[in-house]
Structure formats: structure tokens, C-alpha cells
């Protein structure tokens, strides 16, 4: 990391990103504010200006990643609304968020203890709820059968999530390749309004 001094907000973000790196490579138990300060090249007291303790840091990491994820998914719906095109755009955004930030995928699904709720209950992980609720509104628009709704939500999420998990594997292609590949695959997905599975 650079030896240049951090601005106040930059240090908080830098510590969060470094903490994700430490958690992903060494596990949650290996993280401490003292070790984080050393890894960022700042004084041992510096993290305490931003985080009360390790639990507060972990909460800040979860919020940081979740907020970025939600923002990307929401932005992908601009101009589309509840439509198959909007759902495909959101699916592409889901995959590409992790292609560009593979460290977030590892953190969210290995360490963050998120809860995925497939029912219409609003509880659960916020980015998934956004994805699910977009689908539910689309179902209402097209009068989609109630008995198929949960199955279709699971199937479409599994498809998009599976693409993301493959895309972040080493040697599977560049960001540009995955952007083209994802759009093509989602455009052909029956469950996302395409012409075939």
C-alpha cells in the first residue's frame, strides 16, 4: 500500500478492503484491529477512530459490501422497470459485480453468514431481496402462476449465482469476455425472458 497519508474517509475504506483480504485468506478469527493497522501501515490507534472493536469492523465490512452490491443492482434496473429486460440487466449486473470484485463473493458467501429467504417474507439478505422482489413484481405484471413463482426465483437465482461462481474462478476469462458471455447466456435463458434454456 502507498506510503502517502490517508484522508479520513480513504483510511476507513482502505481498512475495510484490507480486512476483507485478511478474512478471505486467513479467516475471521485471524483479524484484529492491531493486525489491520499494521497491514495498512498506520498507527495501532488509527482503526479506533473508525471502529469501536472487531465486531464493529465486521459489521462495517458487511454494510460496505452490501451497499455496493445493492447500488449496482438498483442501477441496472434504470430505464427497465419490471420487465424481462430489466431482469436480464440485473442478472448481468449480479455476475459482473463479482467478476470485478471476486473478493466480495468470497466474503459474502463464505464469511458473512447471510440469510437467503425464498418466500415473500421481506427478511433476509438485502441484495437478494431486491432481486426476488423485482421478479415478484414482474410476476404480477404478467400474471405468472403462483405455484411456479418460488421455483422460478430459485432457478433464476441459481443460474445467475452459478455463472458468477464460475466467472471468478482462475483462468475462466477476462472481464470483457465475461461481460459478453453473461449477456449472451442470460439473453438465451428461458427463465429470464429469453428464447431458450
CB 33 within 8 A of CB 60: no
| Domains of the chain, each with CATH number or no CATH | 8-51 (1.10.10), 61-192 (1.10.357.10)
Distance of alpha carbon 26 from the chain centroid: 21
DSSP string, 63-99: HHHHHHHHHHHHHHTTTT-SSHHHHHHHHHHHHHHHH
Record the pTM.
0.86
Q: Mean pLDDT across the stretch 113-135?
A: 88
Q: Which of 150, 125, 151, 123 is nearest to 73 (CA)?
A: 125
Per-residue pLDDT tens digits for 144-191 = 899 999 999 999 899 999 999 999 999 888 888 888 888 888 877 655
Strand stretches in the chain, DSSP E? none
Average pLDDT, the chain: 87
Amino acid at each position: 500500500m502507498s506510503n502517502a497519508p490517508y484522508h479520513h474517509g480513504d483510511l476507513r475504506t482502505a481498512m475495510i478492503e484490507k480486512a476483507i483480504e485478511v478474512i478471505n485468506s486467513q479467516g475471521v478469527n485471524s483479524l484484529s484491529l492491531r493486525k489491520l493497522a499494521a497491514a495498512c501501515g498506520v498507527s495501532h490507534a488509527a482503526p479506533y477512530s473508525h471502529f469501536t472493536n472487531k465486531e464493529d469492523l465486521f459489521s462495517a465490512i458487511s454494510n460496505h459490501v452490501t451497499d455496493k452490491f445493492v447500488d449496482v443492482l438498483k442501477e441496472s434496473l434504470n430505464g427497465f422497470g419490471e420487465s424481462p429486460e430489466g431482469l436480464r440487466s440485473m442478472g448481468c449486473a449480479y455476475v459482473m459485480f463479482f467478476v470485478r470484485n471476486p473478493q466480495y463473493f468470497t466474503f459474502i458467501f463464505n464469511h458473512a453468514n447471510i440469510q437467503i429467504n425464498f418466500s415473500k417474507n421481506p427478511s433476509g439478505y438485502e441484495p437478494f431481496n431486491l432481486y426476488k422482489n423485482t421478479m415478484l413484481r414482474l410476476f404480477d405484471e404478467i400474471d405468472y402462476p403462483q405455484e411456479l413463482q418460488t421455483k422460478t426465483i430459485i432457478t433464476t437465482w441459481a443460474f445467475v449465482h452459478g455463472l458468477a461462481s464460475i466467472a471468478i474462478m482462475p483462468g475462466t476469462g477476462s472481464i470483457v469476455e465475461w461481460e459478453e458471455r453473461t449477456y449472451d447466456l442470460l439473453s438465451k435463458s428461458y427463465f429470464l425472458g429469453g428464447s431458450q434454456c
